């Protein structure tokens, strides 16, 4: 494979919470084993963001116990990126952001904030991620109201190292993302999830990225994986997905973080056609990926030991 990579435009620095200066935060997930495997392969450029998910209907204490145990394996500079759900993925009829908005889940929310406080580290919190996804069922007015309730209680606790990340999906059926927007004063980052390679240049993606630039917010690629391409053929994977993905990061100066899901989706019946997307599973692809990560635009985890 060719070593020629994209030319990265200088990064736009807007001074938002947890925003790096001049670089792109490197992240991965989305399970402890997948993250450990990824860290082992890319030990020279270890990710500085790890990915987790939590819902408000279950008491969050067990989640934070597991999270603390996992984070203890890595340097303290590792930033957890937590997706906070207010629905049941794939069951939009079970959405409950309207209940969060009116305070029905305040006890669990307060326990969640207790857990964040106990972590005593920076966190990127994607509230109601993929807010416009039809699989989630969120409605603009109640989504905004739920966001504001969470925002007000979090800031009221003085949790000033928790960046609130507003996450859009370009494949959601509702392209009117601004209808869900909580406002500039209640958001720290914008975010977009990218899976299929068609999403890199589709109109919904372009509109969201342009709006983020207009509002002067950094963008986090909250979730990404080489869906429908996979990693079996390194040349094809780089040509059809990874090369285009890094080109997307390169051309948008306000992209300041990305998270790649290093996952064998094909092993799960509901995602069998997504393919094995573990970049670590193909040595030739992993080598090319590692060379891309070595570009100085990417920020990695610093500190002794990069996981076990």
Q: Could you report the per-residue pLDDT of 40-88, keeping only the tens digit for each?
A: 999 999 999 999 999 999 999 999 999 999 999 999 999 999 999 999 9
Does residue 2 surpass a pLDDT of 70? no
Strand partners for 189: 165
Q: Which residues contact 125 (CB under 8 A, 6 or more apart)?
A: 81, 82, 84, 116, 162, 163, 164, 165
- Rounded CA-CA distance 10/235 in Å is 28
**pTM for the whole thing?**
0.96
Question: Minimum mean pLDDT among 46-50, 70-74, 238-242, 267-271: which range?
Answer: 267-271
Task: Please state the rounded mean pLDDT for residues 80-103.
Answer: 98
> What is the full DSSP assignment across 82-109?
EEEESSBTTBGGG--HHHHHTTTTHHHH
pLDDT value at 169 more than 80: yes
Mean of pLDDT over the chain: 96
Which pLDDT score, from 0 to 100, does residue 308 have?
Answer: 24
- Residue 258, token pair as written in the block: 């990305």
pLDDT score recorded for residue 305: 37
User: Would you say 107 and 78 are in contact if contact means Cβ atoms under 8 Å apart?
Assistant: no
Answer for the pair 232, 278: CB distance below 8 angstroms, yes or no. no
Residue 306 pLDDT: 34
Tens of pLDDT, residue by residue over 131-152, are 999 999 999 999 999 999 999 9
What is the distance between the alpha carbons of residues 297 and 244, in angstroms, rounded to a whole number? 17
Higher pLDDT, 99 or 303: 99
Domains of the chain: 24-299 (3.20.20.80)
| Through-space distance between the first and last CA atoms of the chain, rounded to whole angstroms | 30
What are 10's two structure tokens? 């200088």
What is the SS3 assignment for 231? coil
pLDDT at 304: 39
Residues for the chain: how many in total?
308
What integer pLDDT is reported at residue 263 of this predicted model?
95
């Amino acid at each position: 494979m060719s070593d020629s990579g994209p030319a990265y435009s200088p990064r736009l620095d807007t001074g938002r919470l947890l925003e790096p200066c001049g670089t792109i935060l490197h992240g991965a997930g989305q399970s402890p084993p997948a993250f450990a495997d990824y860290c082992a392969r890319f030990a020279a450029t270890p990710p500085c963001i790890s990915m987790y998910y939590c819902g408000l209907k279950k008491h969050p204490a067990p989640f934070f116990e597991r999270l603390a145990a996992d984070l203890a394996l890595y340097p303290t500079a590792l930033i957890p990126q937590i997706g906070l759900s207010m629905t049941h993925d794939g069951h939009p009829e079970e959405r409950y952001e309207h209940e969060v908005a009116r305070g029905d889940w305040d006890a669990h929310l307060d326990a969640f904030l207790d857990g964040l406080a106990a972590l005593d580290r920076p966190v990127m919190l994607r509230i109601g991620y993929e807010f416009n996804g039809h699989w989630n069922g969120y409605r603009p007015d109640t989504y905004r109201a739920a966001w504001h309730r969470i925002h007000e209680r979090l800031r009221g606790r003085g949790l000033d190292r928790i960046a609130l990340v507003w996450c859009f999906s370009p494949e959601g059926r509702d392209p009117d993302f601004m209808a869900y927007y909580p406002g500039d004063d209640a958001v720290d980052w914008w975010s977009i999830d990218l899976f299929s390679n068609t999403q890199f240049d589709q109109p919904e993606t372009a509109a969201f990225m342009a709006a983020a630039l207009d509002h002067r917010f950094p963008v986090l690629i909250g979730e990404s994986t080489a869906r429908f391409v996979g990693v079996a053929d390194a040349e094809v994977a780089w040509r059809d997905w990874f090369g285009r993905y890094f080109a997307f990061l390169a051309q948008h100066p306000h992209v300041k973080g990305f998270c790649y899901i290093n996952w064998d989706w094909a092993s799960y019946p509901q995602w069998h056609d997504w393919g094995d997307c573990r970049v670590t599973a193909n040595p030739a692809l992993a080598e090319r990926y590692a060379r891309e990560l070595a570009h100085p635009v990417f920020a990695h985890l610093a500190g002794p030991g990069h996981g076990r």
